[in-house]
Chains A and B, each alone.
Chain A
Amino acid sequence: MLNQVMFFLFGAMIVIFSLLTVTSRKVLRAAVFLLFVLISTAGLYFALSYNFLAAVQLTVYAGGIVVLIIFSILLTSQVSEKAVMAPVKQSLLSALSVGAGAILTLMTIFKFAFVPNPGTDPQYNITDVGTALVSYKRDGYALPFEVISVLLLAAMIGAIVVAKKESIKK
């Protein structure tokens, strides 16, 4: 009973705040709505009993990316100015095509009967996650782990090089 209440609460928060994120005229407010969406998603992960994933979602997404977006909003625009939206005709056409796609996908989802695996809650702890991340045996994820660390290093260097000021040499 309680888990149903929590699920519908988080689901409603996700849908409502996603809509507000893409329709709000004030950019900073849209970023705060995005923060609410990400926190509700972490709540869904807790409800699915993936606690480590929910913690990562909270720290990386809600803590890191939203702060980065808010910083860049403050650096690039006046907080008071309203965001420019697409013309009405284009908005209507986008809403129409997006609605058609959503209805098509939802019909497909409800047509297919998913049979859940009757298992208990997954019994895993943080040690298992850490061991799997660096294990190269079966069910190990050492290669993706290394690839992602190289990608993060490359992204960090690339971001610094792109965003740094031109030298005043010339």
Chain B
Amino acid sequence: MIQNIPLSYYLVISTLMFFIGIYGFLTRRNLITMLMSVELILNSVNINFVAFNRYLYPQQLEGHFFTLIVVAVAAAESAVAIAIIINIYRNFKSVDVENVDEMKY
């Protein structure tokens, strides 16, 4: 079901998503929204893997399994990050990076 859609279009979508995620990571000041930007970046990389696998090597499943593993790593990463953020909130009563500027509390 990929007739008439060039591979470049998928790459354009994932490029835009990647750089939008970087923009969010640079401008957001809230730790949770920064985490959401990281999820956007990871997701755009997944689209790249899957599109390359489907278009260039449709007989194999390397990109498919790489994406599966990236999804699992993203789940582990967001679970640990949210645990750290909740701990920060408990100590600083804030999740803004401006207020969290010392490692010792």
Give A residues with C-beta under 8 Å from B. Answer: 3-4, 7, 11, 14-15, 18-19, 21-23, 27, 30-31, 34, 37-38, 41, 44-45, 47-50, 52-53, 56-57, 60-61, 64-65, 68-69, 71-73, 75-77, 83-86, 90-91, 94-95, 98-99, 101-102, 105-106, 109-110, 114-117, 119-122, 124, 128-129, 132-133, 139, 141, 144, 148, 151-152, 154-156, 158-160, 162-163
Contacts and interface: CB of A to CB of B under 8 A. Distances in A.
B17 A57 contact: no
A132 B61 contact: yes
B36 A69 contact: yes
B5 interface: yes
B1 A41 contact: no
**B contact residues, range:** 35 or more
Interface in B41-62: 43, 46-47, 50-51, 54-61
Contacts of A95: 23
Contact of A122 (B6, B9, B11, B54): B54
Interface of chain B, main secondary structure: helix
A34 B40 contact: yes
B26 A94 contact: yes
Given A38-B43, A69-B35, A158-B83, A94 B67 contact: no
Contacts of B13: 11, 14-15, 44
Nearest to A20: B20
A60 B79 CA distance: 12
B56 A7 contact: no
A122 B86 contact: no
B23 A85 contact: no
B50 A50 contact: yes
A114 B6 contact: yes
Contact of B56 (A90, A109, A110, A117): A117
A122 B56 CA distance: 12
28 contacts: A3-B2, A7-B9, A15-B13, A18-B21, A19-B20, A21-B37, A30-B36, A38-B39, A38-B43, A44-B13, A53-B50, A60-B71, A68-B82, A83-B28, A85-B27, A90-B26, A90-B27, A94-B26, A95-B23, A102-B16, A105-B19, A106-B12, A109-B15, A128-B61, A151-B73, A159-B80, A159-B82, A163-B83
